[in-house]
Amino acid sequence: MKFKKVIGMLLAGVILMSTVPVFAGNTNNTGYYVWTSGAGAEQKIHHRPKQNTTKVYTRVDKSPQYTMQVRVYGYLNGQYINKTAGGHTYVDRKVDSSITNGIYEAGYRRASIAFRTTGGENYYGYASGVWSPDSTQNYKVVN
């Protein structure tokens, strides 16, 4: 009888543990406001702590183009290294987006995001929105 009770308690514990949600680390959204130009120069946002392997989140609220090119970077010892899956991706204005990356897996514990226009010299201006290094869910996965 005691054996059945112990087994029952163990099973209940396993069931409870399997339903506990996984919470992402640094998911607070930070606003950005950066100059983007069609001359190909990208603007990085200041790096923030990355605490797990989740996708980077962003939403572009205002931009000189509907679609912006985006890269995410790992940061270590003063160097930014592009860790965007596929090298870069595209994010549409007003779309909550998730960016696949290898930042945490490569040993980086800080992340940054960078934006650039894609339409040549005639596209330039300010881009603004929000981003976070970690996510609590997948939004539109853009790469």
| CATH ID of 27-141, from 2.60.120, 2.30.110, 1.20.120, 1.10.287 | 2.60.120
Q: For residues 50 and 28, what is the distance between their CA atoms, to the nearest angstrom?
A: 11
Highest mean pLDDT among 9-13, 33-37, 69-73: 69-73
Q: How many Å apart are CA 135 and CA 137, to the nearest integer?
A: 5
Question: Could you give the CA distance from residue 79 to residue 122 in angstroms, rounded to a whole number?
Answer: 30
Residue from 59, 52, 60, 55 nearest 72 by CA: 55
The domains of the chain are located at 27-141
Give the predicted TM-score (pTM) of the model. 0.80
The pair of three-digit structure tokens given for residue 118, joined into one six-digit string: 């894609």
**Lowest-confidence region among 38-47, 70-79, 112-121:** 38-47
